Structures are given as C-alpha cells and as structure tokens.
C-alpha cells in the first residue's frame, strides 16, 4: 500500500505531521477526524530518493479549477446541497482527471468530512490559501462568497503567469534560433572550413583556433552534438520543473536587479491579497499568517512571514512584526497595515494595497520586456560578429599569403 505524508492542526492550532500506510487518501481523512485533527495537507510519499519533478495540476488544468470554483459558488448560492452539487458536476464533467477527483471528493463528503478538508488533501490542485478561504467560508456560513474569492484569486495568479510566459516567448524564440543556428554551423559548415585553414600555414587568431577546434570535435563525433542538445534540454527541464532547479533559478533571478524588483512586487501582491482575503473571511491573524507564509512561493518571504507570525503570537501588532524586515516589506505596506489595524480595516486596506502592487508589477514586467528584447538582439549580433571575425579574418590572411 502507498505511504502518505500528512500535516494537520489540533483544535488549539498546533501543527502536527506524520505518515500513514493506507490504501487511499480518504482513509487518512477518516483517521484524522477520529483523532480530532484538522487536515492541512496530504501527499503521497515518494518511493525512491531523487529529484522530484513537479507536475503542478496532475492532469487537471488551472482553468478547470477556476471554473470549478465558480460553479461551486453559483450552485451554493442557489441553495443546492454540497453532495447534490458534486453529483451535477460529475455528470457534466467531460475530462477523466477532473471527474475522478470529483468522485473521490463526493465519497469523502458523504462520510461527513468538511469540504475544506477534501481540498487540503490535494495540495497539487488547491494551494494553502484556497483551503483557508474555503475553511473560513464554511465556518462563517458564507461559502458562496469564499468560492467567488478563490476563483478571483486563482484567476489573478493564472493571468500573472500567462503575462510572464508571454513576455518570455519572443526572447526564447530568439535564443532558440540562435542556439540551433550555431549548432548547425558547428556541426556541418565550420569543420570543413576549419580543416582547410588548420592545414595551411596561416597564423590564426585565438578566437578562430578555438572556434575551428570546437567545430572539428563536433564534426568527428556526431554523438557529441546530440549529447550537447540533450544536456541543454535536461538543464532546462531541471531548472523549470524540479524544486532544486527552481530554487537555483530564483536565486539567480534575485541577484539581477530588474528581476529582483519584479519578483518583490509579485510576492508583495500575493502576500497582501492572500492575507487580506483570509482576514476578511474571518480567520484569526496567527492562522492567516501561517497560511500566507506557505502561499508566497519564495523561501525568503516564507521565513520572514513565519517570524512575524511568532511575534504576533506573542502579542506584537502585525505591522510592527513586519517592520523588522524593511528590505522585503516596504514602509508603504507596513504603514498601511498600521493604519488598518488602528481603524479595524486591515483586510480591506491589504486588498487595496494588493491591487497597487499588481499594477506596479505589470508595469515592471512591461519595462523588463523592453530591456530583454534589445538585449537578446545585441547578444545575437555579438555572436554573429564573433563568428564573422573568426572566419573572415583567416580568409583575408589566407588570400594575402597566396
């Protein structure tokens, strides 16, 4: 039987974790209910050690999740029972992965588990802040509003990712074309030209010697060409889809000033939006901060929020707890939080600030695009110039010698 890793909260808010060997997630939920524990996450334990590659939605697209939240909000508002809602969704579901999830969720709900516990058991589909909003909605009786807020939050995240990906399409195409053109030259054209020059008595520049010797190695060993392409593909997959790779990519991006500014704006937008939404839904500050820390996606912010959460638990105001890290939480944000705490409007002010950071992040992204495109063109021009210099200079020297 598979082994599952679980995390849960006691009624006092103490986090507990462990692992159980059971046939399905539903058995873990039932065990947690008997132990009077509230599930936070349940995930399958990897059988082999190694690098875990993330497949974010397990066959269910983020668009399907957004539509699911919207449908749930509409049907809850219409007064339908939760099991009846899932029966309708199962009947209307066309894709197998989503239908399987809905059937599993319905079975768990029929055994008396709360809906937010069902979502918590699938962290690959539903982030921590989604579970927190649904949990608060169930507790307060405003589940329809919680689903609307979840759908809006997921849509904003989806649109932000789409904007970032769209911004990288043109530079990626330029970089890819440059790479394959260079590989073609190294593999087919330059080896023959280099052999002719290397056999002559012409004194070649160092750049030409390096270029011709490298291309000669590719020409003599075709497997080396495909090996180089394979290594590049594996490197890209590692950086984009594995946890260690994404950490490396984040560290590199953080050290580039324009990228650091963009990352901070997106992180602050998600932080203020998530915390504001959880507080407005009625969650206590300590628990809202715990969920927010796990939703930022950056270890730097997660650690800082967890430290602030401990300060809040000891009685410090929320704004003062974040003022200890002015390098990642700007004064404008902490000042607004202080005003919100004094006026009792912290959640609404945080949501207002999140809109400001979202707009600022969009502007920063557009500015970054305007920098990336000419930088890529300059890079391609430099590569062409290097190739031209390495090939044309030896030709002139050879003609002069003849």
* Helix axes 331-343 and 346-401, enclosed angle (nearest 10): 170
Residue 216 phi, psi (nearest 5): -65, -40
* Helix axes 128-140 and 257-280, enclosed angle (nearest 10): 20
More confident of the two residues 77 and 381 = 77
Round to whole Å and give the CA distance between 160 and 362. Answer: 8
pLDDT band at 11 (very low <50, low <70, confident <90, very high): low
Mean pLDDT computed over 325-335: 90
Residue 351: its pLDDT value, please? 87
Note the Cα 369 to chain centre separation in Å: 20
Mean pLDDT computed over 276-290: 84
Residue 12: its pLDDT value, please? 64
Residue 329: its pLDDT value, please? 92
Residues 6+ away with beta carbon under 8 Å from 121: 25, 28, 29, 39, 41, 42, 108
pLDDT band at 54 (very low <50, low <70, confident <90, very high): very low
pLDDT band at 201 (very low <50, low <70, confident <90, very high): low
Mean pLDDT computed over 258-266: 84
> Which tokens sit at 158?
């989806």
> Which tokens sit at 159?
């649109």
103-111 long-range contacts, CB within 8 A, separation 24+:
104/24, 104/25, 104/26, 107/26, 108/25, 108/26, 108/29, 109/82, 109/83, 110/83, 111/26, 111/29, 111/30
Residue 47 pLDDT more than 60?
no
Q: Which of 183, 189, 186, 210 is nearest to 198 (CA)?
A: 210
Residue 10 pLDDT more than 80?
no
pLDDT band at 24 (very low <50, low <70, confident <90, very high): low
Mean pLDDT computed over 278-299: 81
Residue 359 pLDDT more than 80?
yes
Average pLDDT for the chain: 80
pLDDT band at 13 (very low <50, low <70, confident <90, very high): low
Residue 51: its pLDDT value, please? 38
Round to whole Å and give the CA distance between 368 and 252. Answer: 16
3-class secondary structure for 27-66?
A: HHHHHHHHCCCEEEEEEECCCCCCCCECCCCCCCCHHHHH
* Residue 53 DSSP SS3: strand
Residues 41, 119 contacting (CB under 8 angstroms):
no
Residue 89: its pLDDT value, please? 92
% of the chain with per-residue pLDDT over 90: 10
Residue 52: its pLDDT value, please? 38
What distance, in Å, lies between the first and last C-alpha atoms of the chain?
Answer: 78
Mean pLDDT computed over 357-364: 85
Q: What is the pLDDT of residues 166-194, one digit of tens each?
A: 777 777 787 778 777 777 777 777 777 77
Residue 160: its pLDDT value, please? 77
Residue 85: its pLDDT value, please? 92
Round to whole Å and give the CA distance between 151 and 145. Answer: 10
% of the chain with per-residue pLDDT over 70: 88
* Helix axes 299-313 and 257-280, enclosed angle (nearest 10): 40
Residue 48: its pLDDT value, please? 46
CATH number of 62-157: 1.20.81.30
Residue 253: its pLDDT value, please? 79
Residue 119 pLDDT more than 80?
yes
For domain 167-402, the CATH class is mainly alpha
Residue 374 pLDDT more than 50?
yes
Residue 163: its pLDDT value, please? 76
Residue 202: its pLDDT value, please? 66
Q: Which of 282, 273, 238, 284 is nearest to 349 (CA)?
A: 273
Residue 338: its pLDDT value, please? 92
H/E element, 401:
helix 346-401
Query: According to the per-residue pLDDT averaged within each range, which of 117-121, 259-263, 333-337 is highest?
Result: 333-337
Mean pLDDT computed over 262-273: 87
Residue 382 pLDDT more than 60?
yes
Q: What is the pLDDT of residues 123-158, one digit of tens each?
A: 778 887 888 888 888 877 888 888 988 898 888 888
Mean pLDDT computed over 250-255: 81
Q: What is the pLDDT of residues 56-104, one digit of tens each?
A: 445 788 889 999 999 999 999 998 888 899 999 999 888 888 888 898 8
């Amino acid at each position: 039987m598979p082994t599952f890793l679980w995390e849960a909260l006691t009624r006092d808010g103490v986090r507990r974790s462990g692992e159980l060997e059971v046939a399905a997630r539903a058995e873990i939920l039932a065990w947690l209910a008997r132990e009077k524990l509230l599930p936070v996450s349940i995930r399958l334990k990897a059988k082999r050690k190694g690098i875990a590659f993330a497949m974010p939605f397990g066959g269910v697209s983020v668009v399907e999740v957004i539509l699911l939240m919207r449908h749930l909000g509409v049907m809850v508002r219409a007064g339908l029972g939760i099991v009846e809602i899932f029966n309708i969704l199962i009947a209307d579901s066309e894709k197998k992965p989503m239908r399987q999830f809905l059937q599993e969720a319905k079975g768990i709900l029929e055994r008396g588990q709360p809906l937010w516990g069902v979502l918590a058991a699938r962290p690959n589909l539903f982030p921590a802040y989604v579970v927190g909003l649904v949990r608060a909605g169930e507790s307060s009786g405003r589940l329809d509003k919680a689903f609307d807020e979840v759908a809006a939050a997921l849509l904003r995240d989806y649109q932000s990712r789409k904007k970032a990906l769209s911004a990288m399409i043109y530079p990626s195409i330029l970089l890819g074309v440059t790479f394959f053109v260079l590989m073609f030259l190294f593999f087919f054209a330059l080896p023959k030209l280099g052999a002719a020059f290397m056999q002559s008595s012409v004194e070649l520049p160092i750049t030409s010697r390096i270029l011709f010797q490298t291309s000669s190695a590719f020409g003599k060993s075709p497997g080396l060409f495909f090996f180089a392409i394979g290594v590049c593909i594996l490197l890209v997959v590692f950086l984009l889809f594995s946890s260690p790779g994404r950490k490396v990519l984040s560290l590199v991006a953080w050290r580039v000033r324009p990228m650091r500014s963009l990352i901070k704006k997106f992180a602050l937008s998600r932080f203020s939006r998530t915390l504001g939404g959880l507080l407005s839904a009625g969650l206590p500050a300590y628990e809202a901060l715990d969920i927010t820390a796990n939703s930022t996606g950056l270890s730097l912010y997660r650690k800082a929020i967890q430290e602030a959460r401990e300060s809040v638990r000891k009685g410090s105001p929320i704004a003062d707890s974040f003022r200890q890290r002015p390098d990642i939480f700007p004064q404008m944000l902490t000042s607004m939080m202080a005003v919100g705490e004094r006026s009792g409007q912290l959640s609404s002010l945080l949501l207002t600030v999140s809109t400001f950071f979202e707009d600022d992040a969009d502007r920063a992204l557009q500015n970054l695009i305007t920098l990336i495109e000419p930088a890529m063109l300059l890079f391609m021009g430099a590569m062409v110039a290097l190739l031209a210099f390495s090939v044309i200079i030896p030709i002139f020297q050879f003609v002069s010698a003849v």
